[in-house]
Amino acid sequence: MDSTFIHQKANELVLRAGSRDLRTIAKTVGMNVTEMPFDTISGFFTFKWDLYQVVINVALDRQTKQMVCGYALSRFAEAYLFPDRVSHSMNFISPAHLVEYEANAFSSHLMLDSEEVYHLTKLGYDVQQIAAMTKRHLHTILVKLLALYHMGYDMTHYYSLHSEFLQAHQELAHFSFCP
């Protein structure tokens, strides 16, 4: 899916909700967000009939809960953007789902203003500092930076800082962008 299109649709939801808070956005689209304990899953969502719900594992940290909610919102949006392509009635959300690029790009655009994140890179903050400042999961920031790159933002000022971070964290090398 086109990065600019994902960004546009996410920002339309943000404008509609008047907030970047994922629970507020979920409520705006008629989705109920609750928490309960699970042993092995991060949560689940269901979109069937008039029931739009995401249930998040209460044991997760705050930032991962945001990612789970964002993932469910991305699937909800996908069901409305491409109704003939998608058939989500109920889905469990595992930690493996939280690395899907398109879902996380959509979620990162909901949670983070592109210009603000871009400005922080211009000020010389690395990905860990941006995550701490915005109180977002490191993975969410990495996805946002990659999405900005795919949308055509000039990231030449950030290449060396980003590369240094990724060299120290080889397991995240798939978040690399090349000059």
In this predicted structure, what is the pLDDT of residue 110?
95
In this predicted structure, what is the pLDDT of residue 44?
87
In this predicted structure, what is the pLDDT of residue 78?
77
Mark whether 43 and 120 lie in a shared domain.
Answer: no
Rounded distance, CA 68 to CA 104, Å?
10
Tell me the one-letter amino acid at 102: E
Residues of the chain with pLDDT under 70: 1, 80-99, 178-179
User: What pTM, to 2 d.p., does this model score?
Assistant: 0.85
In this predicted structure, what is the pLDDT of residue 81?
62
In this predicted structure, what is the pLDDT of residue 48?
74
Using the 3D structure, point to which of 42, 65, 99 is the last residue of a domain: 99
Mark whether 130 and 75 lie in a shared domain.
Answer: no
Asked if residue 109 is part of any domain, the answer here is: no
Mark whether 7 and 94 lie in a shared domain.
Answer: yes
In this predicted structure, what is the pLDDT of residue 40?
87
Rounded distance, CA 149 to CA 156, Å?
10
Report the candidate in 99, 74, 71, 101 with the shortest Cα–Cα distance to residue 9. 74
* Owning domain of residue 79: 3-99
User: Total structural domains in the chain?
Assistant: 2
**88 Ramachandran zone, left/alpha/beta (phi>0; psi -120 to 50):** beta
Residue 18: other Cβ atoms inside 10 A: 10
In this predicted structure, what is the pLDDT of residue 136?
94
In this predicted structure, what is the pLDDT of residue 101?
80
Asked if residue 105 is part of any domain, the answer here is: no
In this predicted structure, what is the pLDDT of residue 86?
52
In this predicted structure, what is the pLDDT of residue 100?
73
Mark whether 8 and 49 lie in a shared domain.
Answer: yes
Mark whether 11 and 95 lie in a shared domain.
Answer: yes
Mark whether 123 and 78 lie in a shared domain.
Answer: no
Mark whether 8 and 82 lie in a shared domain.
Answer: yes
In this predicted structure, what is the pLDDT of residue 179?
53
